[in-house]
Structure 1
């Protein structure tokens, strides 16, 4: 494990994030969780804990250096300038500034090496859009913040990583009807390159085996069900194979995810969001972690959303958040597999 703490951004306060945070912290010792601090409104956290009847000690801190000494006795909280209302299940546009502030400060701490990485609790996009948020989702916003901080181009890549499957969508938060136009040879090649590099550098896989899906049913059936596989996907894979990449594909997506097929690769690269995420979440919803590759810092997140319908009811499971904390710490120490 890393000797630096993890930063946790608060997510949408109307969602299940706070209760995941409380439960994970209260299980820190038996689970051996790495030290972390949450960037949030402390008064809100106390109100939510009281509402739910959760006993959790909290302490406001001023710097990341205080986290290790504080963590064993109380949940370290770096206070936001923004304030949140305690209204589980009722997302508010007024909370957008605080949600974004928490992300911004978590990224800044990770880039400055004060934190070992960033674990983000779930956000809902609609309230942020209503407040003028100009990015399709979390992943794209993290890429933009990284570009501004480093003054270099950054292409974030989403990967869902579970016990038996790592899956990467090439296109992410766009309508299905927009996928064929968005899917370019440059985007596909860069996604595969970033995936291969980060599997080596952050997951310790020396020669990643990459399986790449087609876009169309049956991978186009030799052009009878679409030509993208022949015209776009196959030429990119051929170029990368010539460089020494271990790549299979383009493969029919409907036969890529059974147990025997998964044994033959380390990551599945898919053409669009649901093609990758449905398989990952179906196989291990409570244990899968959302990892953003291609960033100059480590970022993980639970694989689920805000779950407004059950927020504040005490029934949300913290498994994926715990897995995200552990994976971030393992990636920071270079021991993730």
Structure 2
């Protein structure tokens, strides 16, 4: 009966089969093997320690308790994956990183910040950063892990990024030095539109380098600042000899910043001297809500809309992860910062200014 059906009709039926049925179907004969050996309808892949989620337009497939013997052939069968999420660094612990080189259509990657703990994962990072069509890079903290000072992004890793068109970068749960951020901004000066640093830890002493690098981005529209880099605080006046500026960011529309010690004068200075006039929306993470009360009567006087948020860690699951995401979507790396004496030699001196005088 299948002989009288067109390939298009068979494909429509095939999309509803689970992974085992797809494999068996492809083994029926040579015609079916040629037709179904590659699963070109699978566009998204979410890899966890306990399983894999594959999805495409209108369907989701689950593979539980995966192993090397499963993940390698699965990735080889799905050459058109556009979105790839790896929720745990241990998910690929027994998998040769070269298998990732077969994925030539990846546009978005979401990976755990624990990949940057030590050099054991360098080969995996290099493979992930080799996707030439990449336009979204999200490095995210796992829901059950604490923020770790040992998760450090290095310049040599950023240099491995082969894509020339990254437009959306999120760095959270990782330490980012000024030189690394400068390299990111240099590589993607013409393309970067969204830069999320709210969940990152950046040395306060690198503020001039970081703000200068951010100012050089031609098309940046959305920016969230790491609390260790800048926050609204009563101690800013004593800390900053020269306040940083984002005045050259002419395309900037949305900015998010942490409130360490509520101070209405510092908020006004931030709006008037640091932000460009084109900013339309300012998000303040003020857990005390004191600034909200202080400026309640003045909100209408500000040119941009001001929203107040909590600093809670949350997960907003994308449909293609099928409710099984393990990566925090939104988190703030706020003070106080723990002193870590086991940083690699390449980070010889960190002064993480917490605005609480560590």
**Structure of higher CA gyration radius:** 2
Give the helix-richer structure, 1 or 2.
1
TM-score scaled by length of structure 1? 0.36
Whose relative contact order is higher, 1 or 2, with alpha carbons under 8 Å and at least 6 apart? 1
TM-score scaled by length of structure 2? 0.35
